[in-house]
Amino acid sequence: MKAFRKFQALALAAALLSACGVERGETGPEGPLQRETAEAEEKIPGPSFQAEDPPAENPPARGAPDTPAAPVTPGPAARRGASGSPVLPGGIRGRPGMGVFTEEIDPVNYKTASPDVLLSMGVERHVVSYIMGERYFRAREYAKAIAEYNGAIALKADFAEAFFSRGRASHERGDLDRAVADYTAAIALAGGYAAAYNCRGCAYAQKGEGKRAIEDYTRAIALKRGYGDAWFNRGYSYREQGEYDRAAADFSALIELEPENAAAYNQRGTARYYRGEDTGAVADFSRAITLKRDFSLAWYNRGIARRSLGETDKAEADLAEARRLGYRPPDASR
């Protein structure tokens, strides 16, 4: 049973499904530049935009972002199982990916093995409960997942991963206070738990506690400098706070880590737009479009920025392409 003891010691830390997640959002600016629904491997509920109505002829005056739209409940499948996803206001990113060492329990795949089979193989009961919780979480059966995590915690009170996963499930159900409590417990038990800080930051962001969210994202980054989701989330929160210089700096850091990330260019372009850097904003939106040709929000944003530069014909062409791709500003009349 040595392999199973190794499984217990090593696999659980990597066995976290996408936890906090917004798909790291292809969300856009508010105000003159508008926000797009977050996009993940599985559709996240969000506003539905139609293509038939053009945006207002005169964009609103440049200024701080409007009040964020109501947060969208995070979905369990983030593209980055890895990166991303609770979808939070505008697209907060960020849970770690699935990484159970299934070879440790060959020839039975833990995703399909029954609890009795796992127990007969020597897997401890609290581990089995945790695995079943992860299975229910993937199936979006969050109440059942929570029941399994409860069982795991009852059997092993210092089981940090189970607290974290229970927090995720509560987060998905919109129970932000319980999610925060469980993320906090996971942090207390495991110490330098970057994913738990990131996800707690997501929950704080949804609760409208932007400063606390930024503090948690900052802790996550300090623990894991290459944590793209936390850079994205902090940059987005800075933008929501009107701190456009810091937002642009965070998205620049993310671009260094992920140079092919279209959403990061779109977000940095938004921050530059609000700083009055229309030429730089157009360059970023153009890069986002090059990386993702059907990125309707980036087409729209570039059109708005080009209007500010007085490039009317180019602006109208961009806005028309955004409409063709299905983008409609949330404030457009129906």
Residues 126 and 60 sit within 8 Å (Cβ to Cβ)? no
pLDDT value at residue 122: 76
Task: Kindly list the distances between the CA atom of residue 321 and the CA atoms of 32, 296, 299, 311, 317, in Å, as whole numbers in the listed order.
Answer: 17, 7, 7, 16, 6
Higher-confidence position of 123 and 252: 252
Residue type, 252: S
Higher-confidence position of 97 and 179: 179
Instruction: Kindly list the structural domains of the chain, giving each domain's residue range(s) and its CATH number in brackets, ordered by start.
Output: 2-324 (1.25.40.10)
Higher-confidence position of 32 and 80: 32
| pLDDT one-digit tens code per residue, 110-119 | 566 688 777 7
pLDDT value at residue 51: 25
pLDDT cut 90: percent of the chain above it:
59
Bridge partner list, 290? none
| pLDDT one-digit tens code per residue, 39-79 | 322 222 222 222 222 222 333 334 333 323 322 223 222 22
| pLDDT one-digit tens code per residue, 269-322 | 999 999 999 999 999 999 999 999 999 999 999 999 999 999 999 999 999 999
Q: What is the Cα–Cα distance from 314 to 293, expressed in whole angstroms?
A: 17
Task: Kindly list the distances between the CA atom of residue 16 and the CA atoms of 76, 81, 118, 150, 321, in Å, as whole numbers in the listed order.
Answer: 11, 9, 19, 16, 39
| Region at 28 (left for phi over 0; alpha for psi -120 to 50; beta for the rest) | beta
Which of the four pLDDT bands, split at 50, 70 and 90, describes residue 20?
A: low
pTM over 0.75? The answer is no
Task: Kindly list the distances between the CA atom of residue 228 and the CA atoms of 10, 58, 115, 314, in Å, as whole numbers in the listed order.
Answer: 24, 35, 35, 33
